[in-house]
Structure 1
Amino acid sequence: MRPLWHVARTPTAETGVSKRYDLVVTTPAPPQYRPGPKYVLLLGSLAAVPAITTDIYLPSLPTVGAELGATAAAAQLTISGMLVGGAVGQLVIGPLSDRFGRRLPVLVGLLGHVLTSVLCMIAPNITALIALRVLQGFFNAAASVVAIAVIRDRFVGSDAARLLSRLMLVIGVAPLFAPAVGGAIAHAWTWRGVFGVLAGLGVALAVLVWRFMPETLPADRRRIAGPRGVARGYLELLRDRRFMALALIPGMAQAVIMSYVVGSTYVFQREHGLDANQFALLFAINGVALVGGAQVNAHLVKRLAPLRVLRVAIVVQAVLGLTLVAVTASGLGGLALMCVVLWLMLSMQGLVPGNASVLALNDYGHMAGTAAAFLGAMQAALGGLVAPIVGFTGGTGVSMVAVMTGSVLVGFTVLAVATPAYRRGGAWGAP
């Protein structure tokens, strides 16, 4: 498939010999397939499985620690362990989906999710629960990797960005309600019942995939590669400077979100005195910003190339971040102004990682699963590495917004320096 940019030769009038070389935007032929709302909902639900599995369990953490005689730190390992398992799982399952197609890996992953959920229900101690959560994260990775790879199998450019933005509606809404649902389930059936519901969710999704998700990677496009071939695939990605730059941007965007999630409960409840209900409402309102931004992006990419949206949105987000740091540090406008600027900054989040991911995947239709896995692992790794800095620097409002803004600035710098996005005459989009 033709990439979104190519080297164009401009012949002179006198000789007809090519002398000028520029990167010129080209538009791929529009795909024939148009997914319906039910198909988008299915892909979005698959992509949201890791987030739901994490967030629905959060209210149960104190009870888990008390019942299993574990410390708070040990109980929290049941969360971070799942993230580690997810990062490893993406790197393993991505290449497998390029070799065996999309349906088989996601079905195996969902069945693994069901099995580990059932085993978590009967976990006798915290050590067993942590190990099972690592395995659960590994299997969950199949759902998110395949959902993104399926999009790349059928779409590129603006079409892919638009569909990914629609998926963000499902991915963003589900975790907003997951903690409340998880709390209600735990109240009725204890924390073990939460894993029973997760097992039921896995069974339902497996049935839906079996019946309604067609194979999108035909046999003649599959990569038959052993461990060395997989390593060569990842090495190819690592050597691609443009891919690595674009892959880093969603990773830093994930760091923005994780820094907010890690710091917000302390900032708004400890520093500003909000009670649990007020914080939950504020958290949901900010979640609306994330989802709304993704839907705005879906409309924008109908008329504008993903890169045009990306290179403006990341600048706007950086300016809002710097403003947020100034407002938080000075106390100007109090909590109200801080919340307004934070909401605006988070709303830009929906216009950055999706477009960067689409551009990164464009040249890798032949190994979309591997490339999507690499993107997912980068996001998990960078989010997990950067977010703890909020706590190390005091866990205050200033430290939270400073880490968020610093992450945006890193992403902007990478886009500006390591890609031709802002170079006149050489960018992917018109200047």
Structure 2
Amino acid sequence: MALLVLVLGALTATGPLSTDLYLPAFPQIARDLNAPESQIQLTLTAIMLGLGVGQLVIGPLSDGLGRRLPLLLGVTVFTVTTFACMLAPSAPVLVALRFVQGVAGAAGAVIARAVVRDLFEGDHAARFFTRLMLVTGMAPLLGPILGGQLLLLGPWQLTFGVIGGVSTLTLVVVFFWLPESLPRSERREMRPAELARTVGALLRDARFVGPALTLGLSFGMMFTYVSSFSFVSQNQFGATAQQFSLIFAVNTLGIIIGTQLNGFLIGRVETARRLAAGLTGALVAVVTMSLLAATGSAGLLSLTVVFFGMMFSVGFVFPNATTLAISSQPPAVAGTASALMGSMQFALGGGLAALAGLTATGEATLASMAVVMVSVGAASAVVFAVLGRSAARSVS
């Protein structure tokens, strides 16, 4: 069990590391590539969209070919593309490479969830996802701190070299220590027409769509903070790259604490109630942030407290929404369901986060962050209230 958590954790942590490690370098990348901030933010949007597109392809492939082959191919391409990012001569080239990186990196995200569905159900799945998030949570916790320190040692390209090294190590770990979890007797090869029917059935199933859309919107709320706060903290509040990385790490600790408290409550409080509590806490946090922005009383300390509360709350949202969505479907379509859920998550995350940069100056501000995050957080709560209850009843 511990080995499985570590292997799947290494897979799913590579994605967060590839987004969080270079966040402190955003202003430096903008200067070095002579590009506006909004264009550098697109490198995050691109990898999110790539993760969404890639999961739609890799998830169904893993249902037909098994988990290992698509996973090994995806991690290999991700590694090669990561090293190519070091040589990007301009922002548009970096954006394109990040999109390819996202498509390939989707293998780790979608197949890790499918493996969990192959092996566990119900509260057992929720418990495993909670343990998995403890491992994967270390990447966004340590990523910005390490990224800030790497800037003291060399240029921003060094961060991609480190990500490439971690990805290479992950490839070795998967090759030697992750066995096939989907027997040949349960594989289901999908032709385009059948895939379309399966996706259509999933989209018509409120038990799946409710928690999956709740997860996607909550991720969009959180990712708006991830993609914008580097610029806002350094340009609007005068933080250094190292100060930003410390604040980001402290806030990320919130999601780790939240997921572990969620794990403690499994078996004591039902899944839907844990999810509802997380959605409520996150909404309270972002509304507080918007009030601080509107009154001009926001500071780095008060924002750290607010974002810590938001991250703590999404520590309840992510594992429980994932459990409700995946557990509502049979193992034969777990890969496709995981892919569709991941696509919704990353497409919404990348697309909604980009809205924060649509200001008159083309730069994200605390006010623009607040508008996006409050709107999306409220939408997430409403979606679960309307659609998510059917999934909770089916799992119960």
TM over 0.5: yes
Partner of 2:305: 340
Deviation of the 1:393 alpha carbon: 5.9
Query: In the superposition, relative to structure 1, how do residues 150 and 409 fare at CA in structure 2: closer, same or farther (>3 Å)?
Result: same
Partner of 1:244: 209
The secondary structure found in structure 1 opposite 2:378 is helix
Percent same amino acid among aligned pairs?
39
1:354 to 311, 314, 319: 319
Superimposed CA distance per residue, residues 175-212 of structure 1 (whole angstroms, 9 cap, x where no aligned partner)? 23223434545654644444443333222112211221
Partner of 1:214: 179
Query: In the superposition, relative to structure 1, how do residues 262 and 135 fare at CA in structure 2: closer, same or farther (>3 Å)?
Result: closer
Query: Are the counterparts in 1 of residues 21 and 144 from structure 2 also a CA contact under 8 Å?
Result: yes
Deviation of the 1:258 alpha carbon: 1.4
Provide the C-alpha distance between the structure 2 equivalents of 1:112 and 1:135, rounded to a whole number of angstroms: 9
Partner of 1:390: 356
Alignment map for 1:183-332 (pairs within 5 Å): 183-185=148-150, 188=153, 190-330=155-295
Partner of 2:99: 134
Q: Which runs of 5+ in 2 are unaligned?
A: none
Query: Are the counterparts in 2 of residues 169 and 295 from structure 1 also a CA contact under 8 Å?
Result: yes
Partner of 1:17: none
Deviation of the 1:113 alpha carbon: 1.6
Query: Are the counterparts in 2 of residues 256 and 383 from structure 1 also a CA contact under 8 Å?
Result: yes
The secondary structure found in structure 2 opposite 1:304 is coil
Higher-helix-fraction structure: 2
Partner of 1:109: 74
1:143 to 108, 123, 127: 108
Q: Bigger relative contact order, structure 1 or 2, given CA contacts below 8 A and separation 6+? A: 2
Deviation of the 1:46 alpha carbon: 0.5
Query: In the superposition, relative to structure 1, how do residues 302 and 64 fare at CA in structure 2: closer, same or farther (>3 Å)?
Result: same
Provide the C-alpha distance between the structure 1 equivalents of 2:356 and 2:395, rounded to a whole number of angstroms: 36
Q: Which runs of 5+ in 1 are unaligned?
A: 1-34
Deviation of the 1:72 alpha carbon: 5.2
Query: In the superposition, relative to structure 1, how do residues 235 and 124 fare at CA in structure 2: closer, same or farther (>3 Å)?
Result: same
Deviation of the 1:246 alpha carbon: 1.3
Question: Cα RMSD between the aligned structures?
Answer: 3.0
Query: Are the counterparts in 1 of residues 26 and 231 from structure 2 also a CA contact under 8 Å?
Result: no
Query: In the superposition, relative to structure 1, how do residues 205 and 338 fare at CA in structure 2: closer, same or farther (>3 Å)?
Result: closer
TM-score (norm 1): 0.81
Deviation of the 1:407 alpha carbon: 1.8
Partner of 2:370: 401
Query: In the superposition, relative to structure 1, how do residues 77 and 42 fare at CA in structure 2: closer, same or farther (>3 Å)?
Result: same
Query: In the superposition, relative to structure 1, how do residues 261 and 66 fare at CA in structure 2: closer, same or farther (>3 Å)?
Result: closer
Provide the C-alpha distance between the structure 1 equivalents of 2:221 and 2:34, rounded to a whole number of angstroms: 34
Query: Are the counterparts in 1 of residues 45 and 351 from structure 2 also a CA contact under 8 Å?
Result: no
TM-score (norm 2): 0.87
Deviation of the 1:254 alpha carbon: 0.6
The secondary structure found in structure 1 opposite 2:328 is coil
